A and B are shown apart, each in its own frame.
Chain A
Amino acid sequence: MQDISELRKDQLDALRELGNIGSGNACTALAQFLNRKIDMDVPRAKILPLNEMSSLIGGPEEMVIGIFLKVMGHISGRFLLLIPETTGVRLMQTLIPGCTVMTASAMNDLEISCMREVGNILAGAFLNALSVLTRTPMLNSLPSMAFDMAGALIDSVIADMAAVSDHVLMIETSFIESNENLKIHIFLMPDPNSLGQLLDQLGVK
């Protein structure tokens, strides 16, 4: 297989379109779940050196909520949501009646479970759209959540994808709810071994 850093422009365009369709579906799901209007950034398909990923969300020491899911099926990969603390608190207050949590480190079991469910819904909606588009079933694992430094969350997600390449391919977008300043970053990273098949399904092998 070619190295990730050698992907062509038409291949990246196809992956971005994939991101567009997946994010669109996830955005609709989030809007329905929260019962409010959510806007979506134009998705990007990027090839990044390992160390630049955390710079996308404020540097390696930026404290964020991370929700991690594995993508399973013929095409496998990683799905990571990075959510600023203010957004996380806002989401919990919206979704849990009477919730008064103010910081991510003070979250109780119910609140953690609620955040994981947000991850579950977004990943499920995203991957559903991709399954239809690529005619390949893709499922997400149970979500796992942590609140810590962005760099630390990212390195544990990308470590074993980085064995052969010093670059990571990611499809990235963010959701914004302007009035309340909700911001959610979504990263989808296909496993290097699945990339060929994914490009094949998209007709840009």
Chain B
Amino acid sequence: MPEIYPVGMAEMRIARDPDVLAAYGIGSCVIVAMYDPKTKIGGVAHIMLPDSTGISQERLNPRKFADTAVPLLFQTLAHAGCFKTSLIAKIVGGAEMFPPNEDFTNNIGTMNTKAAIKALGKLSIPIAAQDIGGRSGRSLEMKLDSGRINLTVLGESVKEL
């Protein structure tokens, strides 16, 4: 039986076929999923913030920030035997959950997805699919037999990415 491994906020995890990586209740966070179809190894980073600049080293959790989590996931997968040239990425999340008003603007979700796209670009990892932005929370499961992602959004039927 495949194991399902949930990846919580500011966490990162890799696994291989036939297991499943999951993230539940994603709001402004952005999920960066990477998959190597040759080795059937994949990983998920559950990123909360765009940029780690200014955070002192001893307090830095690199899995929390897009600029550090994306390269870390990449290195971890490479170390586990993934082929760097066959890796593909999918990104999910970055919603703005609470409608902005005069007292606050809410753009952390947008900043997160932008930073994730930028970090993937630096590593030249192609983005094969994405479901980002909007005003709704999401949940996903990535099956490592194929790299397919099943995505759940409130009031919509399950989508495949």
Contacts and interface: CB of A to CB of B under 8 A. Distances in A.
Say whether A associates with B: yes
B97 A146 contact: yes
B28 A155 contact: yes
A153 B97 contact: yes
A160 B108 contact: yes
Contacts of B154: 63, 105, 147-149
Q: Is chain A's binding surface mostly helix, strand, loop or mixed?
A: mixed
B9 A51 contact: yes
Q: Is the interface of B mostly helix, strand, loop or mixed?
A: loop
B109 A144 contact: no
A155 B49 contact: no
A105 B97 CA distance: 14
B157 interface: no
Interface string A121-157: 0000000000000000000011011111111111111
Given A63-B154, A160-B108, A144 B101 contact: yes
A155 B9 CA distance: 8
Interface stretch (B13-21, B33-41, B121-129, B136-144): B136-144
A50 B9 contact: yes
A142 B100 CA distance: 10
A155 B103 contact: no
B95 interface: yes
B95 A141 contact: no
B103 to A, nearest CB: 3
A63 B137 CA distance: 10
B106 A156 contact: yes
A166 B61 contact: yes
A146 B99 contact: yes
Contacts of B101: 141-142, 144
Contacts of B135: 146
Contacts of B98: 66, 68, 144-146, 153, 156-157
Contact of B95 (A72, A156, A157): A156
Interface in A5-54: 50-51, 54
Nearest to A140: B103
B100 A61 contact: no
Given A105-B154, A162-B10, A149 B48 contact: no
Given A50-B8, A61-B25, A166-B61, A153 B137 contact: yes
27 contacts: A3-B59, A50-B10, A51-B11, A59-B25, A68-B98, A70-B104, A141-B101, A141-B103, A144-B99, A144-B101, A146-B98, A148-B154, A149-B137, A151-B27, A152-B27, A152-B97, A154-B25, A156-B28, A156-B29, A156-B97, A159-B29, A159-B49, A159-B108, A160-B49, A162-B64, A164-B59, A165-B59
Interface of B: 8-11, 24-29, 48-49, 55, 59, 61, 64, 95-104, 106, 108-109, 135-139, 154-155
